[in-house]
Amino acid sequence: MKEFNLEGKIAVITGASMGIGLAVARKLAKYGAQCILVNRKADNLETAAAGIREKGYKAEAMACHTGYPDQIKAMYEKIMTKKGCTQR
């Protein structure tokens, strides 16, 4: 499989505190993406992000219940502001 480069890209991964979501976050981070790990419960989320950062990749944790549109919107605005994105 040919490898690809995600440098400069932001990846928002839901369900990322464990299992498939965490595996996806690890792989995207390996390819250079700035990973935002999202889960409705903060438990284990920061630990998961820290594990990715320990390998030298970019990752941060953000609790958000994706079943609530207001929480999704707040998360989106926070990411856009924090990352300095101008397109909305």
Q: What is the pLDDT of residues 14-41, one digit of tens each?
A: 999 999 999 999 999 999 999 999 999 8
Does residue 44 sit within a domain?
Answer: yes
Residue 40 in domain: yes
Per the structure, the count of domains in the chain is 1
d(CA 66, CA 87): 22
**pTM of this prediction exceeds 0.85:** yes
Tell me the CATH number at 62. 3.40.50.720
Range of the domain at 23: 10-82
CA dist 37 and 59 (Å) reads 7
The answer to whether residue 55 sits within a structural domain is: yes
Residue 4 maps to a domain: no
Task: Tokens 């995600």: give the residue.
Answer: 6
Convert the pLDDT of each residue in 50-62 to its tens digit. Answer: 999 999 999 999 9
What letter does residue 14 receive in the DSSP assignment?
Answer: E
**Domain assignment of residue 88, yes or no:** no
Does a structural domain hold residue 43? yes
